Amino acid sequence: MLNYVWFSLVLISIIVGAINGKLPEVTKAAFDMAQTSVNIAFGLIGIMAMWLGILKIAEDSGVDKIIAKIIRPVSKFLFPDIPADHPAMTAMLLNLSANWLGLSNAATPFGLKAMDELQKLNENKEVASNSMVTFLALNTAAITFIPATIIGVRISLGSASPQAIIFTTIVAGSCATTVAVIASKVFQKLPVFNKELKATKAESEEK
């Protein structure tokens, strides 16, 4: 779907540029932005490597399990059907930790691992479990305490105050996460979703 969106944007830009007689400017802008994107990507390598290393150290040293025990009361409320020592809990913690640090790309592998582990616990493979939905909501909203990626982009583009977005990022992320969790828990209680879940589960058992 995104491929179609990007292709449409590029096509519209070319058509509008041609109509207005500014096709050379469009071409130049495309090359300039391609170069800028490469510069930004290289600027992020150091930040990504540092925080990924820290997360790997935390995983190998067992710190992630200690943190998982500390936040157990919260995780029990969010994911009541997931055992405390299950690999899914560790993967979700690492995913959320990467998001807290603003490392969205680094969070992706942990998110995929978490979903794979959650699917193993899911009794109805045809429908996402409540824990899967809640985790997806948290992953999408994601409070970001240290928006490292955005700060890195702002630094590479010469921002005078690259860290100025930290407070607003935390506020926005907190609001989004609160709404996401409330929506997830409320929708889980609605009869319409429970009926669909029961019907799908019955169909699966019949097969």
Residues 6+ apart with CB under 8 A from 96: 107, 138, 139, 142
| Number of folded domains that form the chain | 1
How many angstroms separate the CA atoms of 106 and 104, rounded?
A: 5
| Among 139, 132, 108, 138, CA closest to 118 | 132
How many angstroms separate the CA atoms of 108 and 110, rounded?
A: 5
Answer whether residue 13 is part of any domain: no
User: Which stretches of the chain drop beneath a pLDDT of 70?
Assistant: 1, 40, 43-44, 47-48, 51-52, 55, 64, 68, 104-106, 192-207
The pTM for the full model equals: 0.62
Give the pLDDT of residue 124. Answer: 80
Answer whether residue 168 is part of any domain: yes
DSSP state of 123: S
Domain around 145: 45-206
Answer whether residue 136 is part of any domain: yes
Q: What is the pLDDT of residues 164-181, one digit of tens each?
A: 888 888 898 889 889 988
